[in-house]
Amino acid sequence: MRIPPYYHQPTWQRFFAGVAIGAVISWLVFLFIYGVLQEKHRTIIEKQKLTIEELEKDIQIYQEEYAKINKEAQEKVTIQSIDVHLSNGDKFQFKEFKIQQIENKIKDDLADLVAKDMQSVYTNHKLIERMIENQSIPIDGKEYKLKMTKFMLYTTIYIEMEISLR
């Protein structure tokens, strides 16, 4: 069997030449369109990279500033109030009025600590403890002494004490 010699006919030659030229032109058009789209996407990605870098720098600056402000604020936290509680006043059958008097006396002694920064109060907490424990409280002809059992420090100083005979 023999293949017919179509390549000698000018109509087939024109068809194959058109197919080849069309394939080359369509490939060039495809490459052009693809290149334009890739260039557009690349510029968008570059803009987004620059924006991301700027935003990351801003975030870093804000975080550093936030940490610095927090540190300064934490250093500047001050004492707002003092809360004193006498835990075993009922053991000696003190009236509520006497217990309140003892608590108020200690509050008055520690009134200078209000509006002080927490760091200085913390460094002097042993001094505060000694000041409370070295006091003698006269009640009904008897001398009593205080012992600090709990000392909690934040914006409010909470002191829990026990009373005993001297």
DSSP class per residue in 88-100: TGGGGT--HHHHH
Give the burial class of 84: count Cβ atoms within 10 A of its Cβ; 0-12 exposed, 13-18 middle, 19 or more buried: buried
Ordered mean pLDDT values, 10 residues apiece, the chain (166 residues) = 68 87 96 96 97 96 92 79 89 86 91 86 90 88 91 90 88
Q: Output the pLDDT for position 10.
A: 81
pTM: 0.57
**Cα–Cα separations (whole angstroms), residue 7 to 2, 4, 10, 16, 115:** 14, 9, 8, 9, 105
Structure tokens at 68: 């610095």
The answer to whether residues 147 and 126 touch, using CB atoms and an 8 Å cutoff, is: no
**Residue 146 to residue 131: CA distance in whole angstroms:** 10
